[in-house]
Amino acid sequence: MKLPPGALAGIRVLDLSRVLAGPSSTQILADHGADVLKVEPPSGDETRTWGPPFDAQGTASYYHGLNRNKRGITLDLNTEAARAKVLELLADSDVLVENFKTGTMDKWGLGWPVLREQFPRLVYCRVTGFGADGPYGGLPGYDAAIQALVGLMSVNGEPDERGGKPLRAGVPVVDLATGLNAALGVTLALFERERNGRGQFLEVALYDVGLTLLHPHTANHLMDGRIPKRTGNDHPNISPYDVFPTGSEPLFLAVGNDRQFSQLCLGIGAPELAFDPRFTSNALRSKHRAELRPLLEAALARHEGKALAVQLLEAGVPCAPIQDIAAALEDAHTAHRGMVVQVGEHYRGIGSPIKLERTPPSYRLPPPPGPDH
């Protein structure tokens, strides 16, 4: 079956990036039709070793999750011949993505001041930890350290009164969001190039992206000066918004307005709570959340969690049972949305969430084999 051309069909990307943020951005571009050539050193991208699990060739699943739809080549950029090859490849490329330590590309004679003269239509995307200058400029950045530095860990975890401590998010959220922003930045630059025919340099720093992920905590602090505290699964601005026990498995409730609260109370057989003067608005529910919680728990204890979740969702109440990864991947809706994809016999991965009507994503190539294969 012939695959439809993607939205980025005809765009050629030279991917010099490694680990997570850069490769995730280029995989997004590749899923939507870009021809991505991944350049690895002779030792390979280090995520090939980040396992178990490993495939039959010894490549870790971590690498597989970030590098499909790419062709591969091995180059030692410490050599003059390899750098000459990069220049040769750039002559036919629209986009360059790299995440080397700041100054490395300039040292190799491949920095933006040089490349923009030789390749005026090139879009050059640099992914960094902190940017090139400023107090932290040029320092290496890593997801967990950025989470700590920008305040993400300070608001993640159980509160002090429950014995909680700051926690790293269970996924590399800063790296992944940086990849999304890098892919968005590349497409913005390509769109702008259509207007004036020139490429441009763009930089996406993990530090900047980490700060953008702190809503609503930064918005709250900038308005009233409060320093946010850890609230576990609870929400600082909304109530009820937390995990609640039921007669079976726990349920996450995310009740964002008064109509939803009224429907929740009706659905759990406690309609009177919606008229209690302590709970008639979100502001009041937030103020009296400690009083509201045991009343909800008492009503929820009479229900089976998964069945109640379906009933409440149909009534317009945001909620869900807490599933593990296996259950989520096996969920019928995951299959319906085409979110687990297969390429060939041995590769399975998570599909693109961007569902364009005329130019949908496609899954054409498994990740490149290792340098020794």
Domain that holds residue 276: 251-321
Please report which confidence band the pLDDT of residue 373 belongs to, taking 50, 70 and 90 as the band edges: low
Pairs from 81-89 (Cβ < 8 Å, separation ≥ 24):
83/108, 83/109, 83/110, 86/14, 86/16, 86/39, 86/110, 87/118, 89/14, 89/37
Residue 303 domain-assigned (yes or no): yes
Q: What is the pLDDT of residues 219-256, one digit of tens each?
A: 999 999 999 999 888 888 899 999 999 999 999 999 99
Q: Which pLDDT score is estimated for 372?
A: 61
Is 31 found in the same domain as 113?
A: yes
Q: Specify the pLDDT at position 233.
A: 87
193 and 170, same structural domain?
yes
Active-site residues, by number, are: 175
Domain count, the chain: 2
Q: Which comes out higher in pLDDT, residue 345 or 90?
A: 90
**Confidence class for position 316, pLDDT limits 50, 70, 90:** very high
**Predicted confidence band of residue 85 (pLDDT cuts 50, 70, 90):** very high
Q: Taking residues 271-276, what's their average pLDDT?
A: 96
**Residues 190 and 263 placed together within one structural domain of the fold:** no
Do 77 and 161 fall within a single domain?
Answer: yes
pLDDT at 91: 97
Mean pLDDT of the chain: 94
Are residues 284 and 342 both part of a single domain? no
pLDDT of residue 19: 96
53 with 146, same domain: the answer is yes
State whether 35 and 133 are in the same domain.
yes
Contact 151, 214 (CB under 8 A): yes
- Say if pTM beats, i.e. exceeds, 0.95: no
Residue 5: predicted pLDDT: 79
Among 19, 14, 21, 18, CA closest to 208: 21
Give residue-wise pLDDT tens across range 161-194: 888 999 999 999 999 999 999 999 999 999 999 9
Statement to judge: residues 161 and 271 lie in one domain: no
pLDDT digit string (tens) for 191-216?
999 999 999 999 999 999 999 999 99
Question: Could you tell me if 257 and 200 lie in one domain?
Answer: no
CB 250 within 8 A of CB 322: yes
- Name the phi and psi angles at 255, rounded to 5: -90, 110
**Residue 38 domain-assigned (yes or no):** yes
Residue 148: band (very low, low, confident or very high) from pLDDT cuts 50, 70, 90: very high
pLDDT in tens, 44-56: 999 999 999 999 9
| Average pLDDT score over residue span 37-50 | 95
